[in-house]
Amino acid sequence: MVFDKEESQPVTNFMCCVITGTLVLFALIIAAILYLTVFKATNPVITVKSVTVTNPHMSNYSDLQHSVVSFTVTIYTAVKNPNVERFKYDNNTIVFYYYGTQIGIINSVRGGQIVAEETEYLSATLTVQPFPFIPVSQNPDFFSDVNSSKIIPIDFTVYMGGDARILYFFTSYVKSIVYCNFVIDIKQRTNLRMECL
């Protein structure tokens, strides 16, 4: 029996196309699964390790209405990159609040990167300019809290964002934010507890 080459050629070409298409589709499905699971970009994990306050000062204890407060604070953080590729950050911001009013901000201009599944330790220091001791919010419990203990509550947020590399060629923007607070004891000139959410 003799096969006609002209009749078998289209069948062979068709089978090659089907097999190639199937392999390409299978490769795309595997790549999509890996991209959405193993190589999915994950936000960095920020942990505030400690807060150190130095030189807390109140201008006038006897006249709280006209008193101002200033201090220097250093924040120590640990940032973990949970991704399987490097995380390149370029935006690291710490904002300080006193009864809802912003009293200071640290904008880190130094970028950097954290290799896969590693942790980097960072610190930032800010000298907070004198701000009114009487908060704008006029919290009803403010005077009783201050007169009884001479403590000042400070809230702050730590924000970091940047690009996480995926499958070497692609990047995805990831970010994290942490909310914390600490208390300054003006009489003892030190900071007390620190808590983060």
CA 139 to chain centre: 30
Give residue 197's pLDDT band: very low, low, confident or very high (50, 70, 90).
confident
pTM given for the model? 0.77
* Statement: residue 81 has pLDDT above 90: yes
Angstrom CA distances, 151 to 110, 132, 146, stand at 34, 14, 6
Contacts 24+ apart (CB under 8 A), 148-151: 149/185, 150/185, 150/186, 150/187, 151/183, 151/184, 151/185, 151/186, 151/192
Q: What is the pLDDT of residue 7?
A: 54
How far is residue 137's CA from residue 164's CA, in Å, rounded to a whole number?
A: 40
Phi, psi of 6 (to 5 degrees): -70, -30
Q: Which two tokens stand for residue 142?
A: 């403010």
pLDDT of residue 59: 81
* C-alpha distance from residue 129 to each of 55, 107, 191 (Å): 12, 16, 17
Average confidence (pLDDT) over 34-53: 85
Give residue 61's pLDDT.
Answer: 65
Q: How far apart are CA 39 and CA 50, in angstroms?
A: 32
Average pLDDT for 97-112: 86
